[in-house]
Structure formats: C-alpha cells, structure tokens
Structure 1
Amino acid sequence: MPLTDTITYPLLIGDIGGTNARFAFVAEKGDAPIALVKRPVAGHAGPVEAMGAYLKAHPDKKPRTIILAVATRVNAAVVHLTNASWTIDSRQIGRAIGAESVLLMNDYAAVAMALPFLAGPDHLAPLGPELPGDAGARLVLGAGTGMGATALVPFENRFAVLPTEAGHTEFGAVEEGELALWPYLERVHDRVTSESLLSGPGILRLYEALERQRGNPPALVTPAEIVAAGMRAQDGPFHAALTQFAKFLGRFTGDLALIFSATGGVYMGGGIAPRMVEFLRQSPFRQAFERKMPFAEIIRQIPTFVITDREPALTGLTQFAAHSERFLITLHGWSASSMS
C-alpha cells in the first residue's frame, strides 16, 4: 500500500529543522493547521519527547497520521538530522504516539509543495523586477541552520517534487577579491560548501574571514547579531559580511535556477532571508543572480521572491495531505497496517 493511502485525519504535522521543531494539528481535510507550537531541538532528547510535550499540552489532540518535514536527506524510514543530534525513527514515533502511520519527507520538499498556494504580499515579497515567470519549474531554497533546496517541476496536471542536497556542493571563488579571501575561510569537513557559507554559521564564517584578512581579531558575535548590525550600518565589518553573503546567495541561486531551468520562479525561505528583505533588495543579490552569460537574458526573466508566509513547510504539509494526488514524491515512513 502506498504511504499516501495511509493518510487519515486527524493529522499531526511537523517541520523539524536544525534549531527548532514546529508542530500543528489538522482536524479534518480542508482545515487550516491549529495549535501551532515551536520547540527548540536542543531542548528535547528527540522528536517523541518534543511531540509528547506538545500533545500533553493538548490532550484532546489524538492524531491518526503524523507527517514530518525534516532537515536532512530522507531516504529511509529512519533518518538523522544533518545539523542536530535527533534521530527520526518513524516506527518508534508512531508506536510511542499511538498513530496509525508516520510519513517523512525533506523539509524543503514540504516548502516546495506550498508554492502553488502562496500568493500576494502576505506570502511573497519580490526581489528585483516584478516578473510574471511562466508555467515552468519552480525552485525553493532557504538559508538557516543549514541550506535546503527543492525543485517543483510541472508534469501534466501534477507536480514532481525533487529534493536536493545542493547545499553540500562545493562553493568556489570567482572574482579576484574572493580568491584572496578563500585562505581565511574556515573549512567544514575540509571543504568550502554552499551551506558552509550560505547559512547562519556561514554568515559568521564570512565575517570572521573578512576580519582575519584585514588583520583584525573577530568579535565574539552570533549570526543574528551580524545580520542585525549589518542591516543597520552603511559600512563596517558586519555590513561587509552581509553584503558578501547576499552576493554569494545570488550567485548560488542563479546557478540552481540554471540547473533546474526554474523559469517559473525562485523562492527563498529559511530563517535568514525573510529577516533581510530590504537589505537583499539593495544588495548585489539580483546582479549576481543574473550574471550567467551566455544565458543571462534567460535568467533576467526569472522572478525571485522571499517567502513571507510564517510557516511555509506546515502550509505545504497541509496541502499535501489534502491533495496528495497532485504531487509526485517518494515518501518513507511506517504504517501499522504494514506490520513493519
């Protein structure tokens, strides 16, 4: 039996990232998610404990199906978060919570499935020219604790959902000034990857590398402090780090738009871009995005947006549960009916 056939209401849905886990309850098909709660991943031993705390606070909520969007590559019924210590074991979760089935998918697959249902200023903020896009593939990506990316490709009257690990591809210097910066960058697993620069920790790495290059000792600051200070300032080390981040983000986003021919538009979520929409509009982001000769003219016609919907992954999970026949995606998980 396909896992989509095991979806029965009520639902517990969750978006589990490297820093926070968000849960909501959907009582009936077509209902909006309710009782939204956010829990720090580091504050719980695992997902069962975090969900148990949620359900203990809402004893009337008894889910039959649990659908989780998790920040890792989902290729089995048991997966491990890339940037946190949790193990997501669908069978363990189902039996501990008393659900009939547990479905797992990548977190940005869930965000991608929200795209057909997002429109207007409450959900999207344009970056660069307001372009119509077309009916082609759409791309969603997001910088937060890590970097996620998924393509949403139209296929007849449905959508193929293609999660990627694009954040773990190599990221290289292109301009002369960048070549001089590269020796000062902290390596992660002896690599400079897209995620190692285009994430919260990546902003900190860029700031520290720029300061070391100038011969200055980096201040003890957090990524959030760099973002806040960089947006306030007109110059200085924090502004320089944030500007470099925006340029690199534009370049990486443009590369992915080329790879997936994302003529339907590029959409950015995550914990960082929605906080700095105006900064990104004034930054080199769009210029770097479009610098793709010999296909620059094609890229210039692709719209770019920041997702301002507060919980796009939960929006996507809700729509997937109600309209699973519209999405082509490989799921993993556990069902009591399979006796596995």
Structure 2
Amino acid sequence: MFEFPVLVGDIGGTNARFALVMERGAQPRPLSHEPTGGHPDPSSAIRTALAKGLEAIGAPPPRSAVLAIAGRVDGPEIQLTNAPWLVSPKRIAADFGLVSAVVVNDYVPVAAGAAGIRPTDLTPVGPRLDPPPEPPAGARVVLGPGTGFGAAALIPYGDHCAIVSTEAGHTDLGPVGRDEERIWRVLERSEGRITVETMLSGPGLARLHAALRHLRTGEEAERIDPAAVTEAGLNASDPHAAEALALFGRLLGRVCGNLALTFLATGGVYIGGGIAPRILKVLQEGDFRAAFEDKDPFAAMMKAIPTSVITVEDPAFNGLAALAGEGERFVYHASAWRAEGATG
C-alpha cells in the first residue's frame, strides 16, 4: 500500500523516465525524461524531474515512490547493469521526505501492465485478426531489447498474479546452422561470452553489423551506432545493416520462443524495449515467427501463442501505476523501505 501521490520511475541505462500517480486508479502524469548519463545519481535525476514537472501539472510533492530499474534487485542498494548509478530506496526516501520507496526490476511493471493491456496497445507479429482478440488465458512473458535485454513472466494464481523477474539476457545464445556458426566465430564477445544480451540489444545490433561486414568483406569492422545500423538497414542503404536487422529479428523470435516454452506462456509474448517498435516491418515480414514456432515437438502449441510488440509509449508507467494502486493483486520481489508507523 502506498500513500499518494506516488512518484513512479522507469530507470534504464540510457534514460530515466518519471511520472506522478495522483490517486489510486489514476493514470500516470509524465514529469520528464532525463538522460541517465546526465546525472551523477538517481536523486539528481528525480530532483530535476520534479522541478520540471510538478508545477506544470499543478501537483503536490510525492509521498511515496515505486521505481523500476534495469538491474538485479538483490539488496538495499541496487547497481544498474549498464550505468554507474546505485539506487537505494532508503536514501531516495530520505532525500525527498517520502514515507515509503520501493525498487523493482524494470520488467516487473511491464509484466504488471500486461495483466490488463488492451489489444489496441499491441501490434501483432504474426497472424492478424480484425478486430484483435483479447489475449488468451495463461502465463504471459514480457521482454525487450534496448540498452540491455530484460524479461519477466506474469503467472496467474486465482485472483493474484505472480511476477517472476529473470536474468534471461545473461543466458548463453548459440548458433543454429552453418551460416550462423561462421558469424559466431567473428562476433565480438562480452566478457568472453555470447549471451542473449550480447546480441539482442542496441550494442548487440552493432556487434551483428560489424561481424557480418567483416565476414562478407574480409575487412576489419568497428561497431557503429545502433541507430545508424537500424536506419541504414531499413532504407536499404547498407546491405550488411539490412542483413544484421534480419538476423536480429530471427534471433529475437528464437529467444521469444525459448522463453514461451520455459514459462508455458500460452497467454502470449509481449515485446517492449526501444528497438522492436522501430523494426516492426522486419519482424512482421522476416523470420521472427518462423523462428518462434520452430520448436518441435511443440510447434503446434507455439503456433497458437500470440506474439505482439507493445506500441504504447512508456509501457512501464501503466504497470507502475498498477503496482501503486493494486499492490495487493501482485506478488513480486522488491527492495523496499517504509517509515516506521506509515499507514499508507
């Protein structure tokens, strides 16, 4: 239970987005987007967001906070995986006079939001039906390639939903077929490994492009900006970029299928992150679904599992608002601090 208004934040390795939930059931009201690298710590970013946004929306200061961070929530201070920030709910509560502060993995609210996501907030990857059907019952998986790779599962138990955070991005990813084996041989490793995140992230897309250029031309190739790879691949100005996007889509389909099998996600797979909405055409027209369904002896089951890209802006905000207002519905792991005697 939280005292309102509740500050909600989606903190990643590149951007930190903040909003305010005024009361139970209310929609989050955006405050600002802050560059993670532009602030020395989370309190600096929050202070700037509140200074920019509170007066603009005519709101009082927050009483509580729920913050989602791209990192493993494993203690009272949480280290972001792809940024130098340490996030402490107790310190943030002290800095802003809050009665409670909760920190969760960044895919916990995306999973919470998937519990009530509307078909209009999704773009299917695979068979299209008009009007789009309601998602089927069963566990759901949410995931997303961005600065890193995050994933979580939403598992219904009666009237409650358990949210299972994962570190799926740090599992190993191997090649399928001889052409992929050749690519794997020239791929730049991350700490000596090729993991899901090594490939399915912004830096991963740049790695794929550099490896393919080296393999196809024999030239040594350095990584270029992932946004440049995406643009060049989509407008066909660079054949290696186009090939990298196609391979990225196939690998994403394979990993989505692996996670769907792991959690028996008959309720669907929902893809967030910053990259997927930009490459919808690649996912819809390429090998994404074929790789997703190529899971014999369960190919028939996989064909029935819907896959969609979350196209609503800031999808974590709706989930954070759900955690703030419907906290009793969800079971999830968090690092929390509450003032003694707090009643919210």
TM-score of the pair, normalised by structure 1: 0.94
Partner of 1:63: 62
The 8 Å contact of residues 206 and 223 in structure 2, kept in 1 or not, is answered as: no
Q: Specify whether residues 185 and 321 from structure 1 end up closer, same or farther in structure 2 by C-alpha distance, changes over 3 A only.
A: same
Q: Which amino acid aligns with 2:28?
A: P
The 8 Å contact of residues 18 and 41 in structure 1, kept in 2 or not, is answered as: yes
The 8 Å contact of residues 167 and 195 in structure 1, kept in 2 or not, is answered as: yes
Tell me the C-alpha RMSD between the 2 structures: 1.6
Residue 196 (structure 2) aligned to one of 174, 194, 215:
194
For residues 92-144 of structure 1, the C-alpha deviation after alignment (integer angstroms, 9 at most, x for no partner) is 111011111110111111100001222133x1000001475531100000000
Matched, 1:307 2:310: yes
Partner of 1:178: 180
- 1:272 and 1:213 map into 2 onto residues whose CA distance is 24
The 8 Å contact of residues 77 and 104 in structure 1, kept in 2 or not, is answered as: no
Q: Which amino acid aligns with 1:35?
A: P
Superposed displacement of residue 217, structure 1: 3.9
- 1:304 and 1:238 map into 2 onto residues whose CA distance is 24
Matched, 1:77 2:76: yes
- 1:35 and 1:124 map into 2 onto residues whose CA distance is 21
Residue 37 (structure 1) aligned to one of 14, 32, 46:
32
Q: Which amino acid aligns with 2:176?
A: V
Partner of 1:297: 300
How is 1:155-174 mapped onto 2 (pairs within 5 angstroms)? 155-174=157-176
Deviates more, 1:189-198 or 1:22-31: 22-31
- 2:266 and 2:62 map into 1 onto residues whose CA distance is 39
The 8 Å contact of residues 152 and 166 in structure 2, kept in 1 or not, is answered as: yes
SS of equivalent residue, structure 1 residue 276: helix
- 1:37 and 1:181 map into 2 onto residues whose CA distance is 41
Matched, 1:102 2:104: no
Q: How many residues align?
A: 333
Partner of 1:232: 235
Partner of 1:124: 122
Residue 19 (structure 2) aligned to one of 20, 24, 42:
24
SS of equivalent residue, structure 2 residue 143: strand
The 8 Å contact of residues 112 and 319 in structure 2, kept in 1 or not, is answered as: yes
Fraction of identical pairs, as percent: 45
- 1:257 and 1:32 map into 2 onto residues whose CA distance is 30
SS of equivalent residue, structure 2 residue 20: strand
Task: Give ranges in structure 1 of 5+ residues lacking alignment.
Answer: none
Partner of 2:45: 50
Task: Give ranges in structure 2 of 5+ residues lacking alignment.
Answer: none
Q: Which amino acid aligns with 1:63?
A: P
The 8 Å contact of residues 11 and 66 in structure 1, kept in 2 or not, is answered as: yes
Q: Which amino acid aligns with 1:31?
A: A
Superposed displacement of residue 338, structure 1: 7.1
The 8 Å contact of residues 232 and 238 in structure 2, kept in 1 or not, is answered as: no
- 1:281 and 1:264 map into 2 onto residues whose CA distance is 20
The 8 Å contact of residues 66 and 101 in structure 2, kept in 1 or not, is answered as: yes
